Amino acid sequence: MTVNDLIIVYEDNHIIVVVKPQNVPCCEDSSGDYDLLSAVKDYIKEKYNKPGNVYVGLVHRLDRPTGGVMVFAKSSKAAARLSEQLKAGEFEKKYLAVLVGTPKEKKAILVNYLKKNAVNNTVYVCGATVEGAKIAELDYKILEENEGLSLADVRLHTGRSHQIRVQMSFIGTPVYGDMRYGGDKAKKGNLALWAYTLAFNHPITQERLVFKVQPPKDQKPWSCFDIDKPFMYINPKNS
């Protein structure tokens, strides 16, 4: 990725909403690879001819293999207000996921307790009484089935690390391409997990903003489904 590859969905004086490509880190990590946060900073520096360091606030994260819509703050005030919303549960995050197989229930709420192993950066389902366990909740509905795969619309209620991947694998339908949690069912390919909806209140005007971005629908396994369906009957102001 280069700064010229940056896809900007929305920008004003306070925030910038962009598309995170798959397999690009959202911020600097041990790999040393060019990251999305650096790309946004470089874009602002170049576009507005700003000298020295440019402030861009990282408000939330997506796992490196996950693509989709992200918002960054262009001021510390905006960053603080967006972070407050995130903690208060006022952000809405929805994902599309291609699952290997189809869950027994086509629509359900999943509630588990998760614990992270910091040594190998993996997360696992555990009991509620395990030290360090955190509750994880999401709801999903299956939109379509094809070729032994299913397309799921997933809404996060909590924001735990690797949450969707772990919880969907736990019920026997791992995310396509998830070699870490998919076990014997894993299919090789890019992780088919995409953050397609992000909604929050503008940090200054308080207007409710909803941004929706499609996954790469010409690429497998997305190409197995009618990806346009989740976007067909949407009122951007009220969804």
pLDDT at 238 exceeding the cut of 50: no
How distant is the alpha carbon of residue 73 from its chain centre? 17
pLDDT at 211 exceeding the cut of 60: yes
What is the mean predicted confidence (pLDDT) over 106-132?
Answer: 94
pLDDT at 229 exceeding the cut of 90: no
SS3 label, residue 25: coil
The predicted pLDDT at position 237 comes to 44
What is the mean predicted confidence (pLDDT) over 202-231?
Answer: 92
What is the mean predicted confidence (pLDDT) over 128-150?
Answer: 96
The predicted pLDDT at position 39 comes to 96
pLDDT in tens, 178-209: 999 998 888 889 999 999 999 999 999 999 99
Instruction: Give 181's contacts (C-beta < 8 A, 6+ positions apart).
Output: 122, 162, 165, 166, 169, 174, 175
The predicted pLDDT at position 94 comes to 95
The predicted pLDDT at position 4 comes to 84
pLDDT in tens, 78-92: 999 999 999 999 999
Q: What percent of the chain has pLDDT over 70?
A: 97
What is the mean predicted confidence (pLDDT) over 38-45?
Answer: 95
pLDDT at 233 exceeding the cut of 70: no
pLDDT in tens, 159-179: 899 999 999 999 999 999 999
The predicted pLDDT at position 31 comes to 84
Residue 234: pLDDT band with limits 50, 70, 90: very low
pTM score, whole prediction: 0.91
Task: List, as one string, the DSSP characters of 141-199.
Answer: EEEEEETTEEEEEEEESS--TTHHHHHHHHTT-PBTT-TTT-GGG--SSS--EEEEEEE
SS3 label, residue 97: strand
The predicted pLDDT at position 232 comes to 58
The predicted pLDDT at position 239 comes to 38
Terminal alpha carbon distance of the chain:
32
pLDDT at 1 exceeding the cut of 80: no
